[in-house]
Amino acid sequence: MTYQAAASINLLGDRILIRELEPDTPLWLKKRTGVLKGEVVKLGTGRWLKKACKRLVSSVKEGDVIFFSHMAGQPLFLQDEGDYRVICENDVLGVEVNV
């Protein structure tokens, strides 16, 4: 799936742009469960390791479905494409595995 508005954003470092998969969930339920689900839309360049003088490759890739805390990152709304969020890779709790 292509996201035109998301394509115009360049993320820095270990930032991840995700599209919330369940945006209609009521706020009280989000706070109660504390965990949200989203699809990775775009990745930043990766975290820079100062001592090693190299970039760390991200452990997630575009298209992955991930779980993250409702408190993580910054909410973002992009031109009628829905709810997005920019989070750090450290805020990813897990990746959904298709069995």
pLDDT digits (tens, 9 = 90+) for 11-38: 888 888 998 887 666 666 666 667 888 8
pTM comes to: 0.79
- CB distance 31 to 94 below 8 Å: no
Question: At which residue do the structure tokens 């390791």 appear?
Answer: 49
Residue 26, classed as helix, strand or coil, is: coil
What's the structural domain count of the chain? 1
CA distances from 26 to 7, 31, 37, 83 (A): 28, 9, 14, 14
Q: What is the pLDDT of residue 38?
A: 87
Consecutive H or E run containing 69: strand 65-69
Range of the domain at 27: 4-95
CATH code, 55: 2.30.33.40
Provide mean pLDDT across the span 34-54: 82
Please choose, from the candidates 88, 11, 6, the residue with its C-alpha nearest in 3D space to the C-alpha of residue 43.
Answer: 11
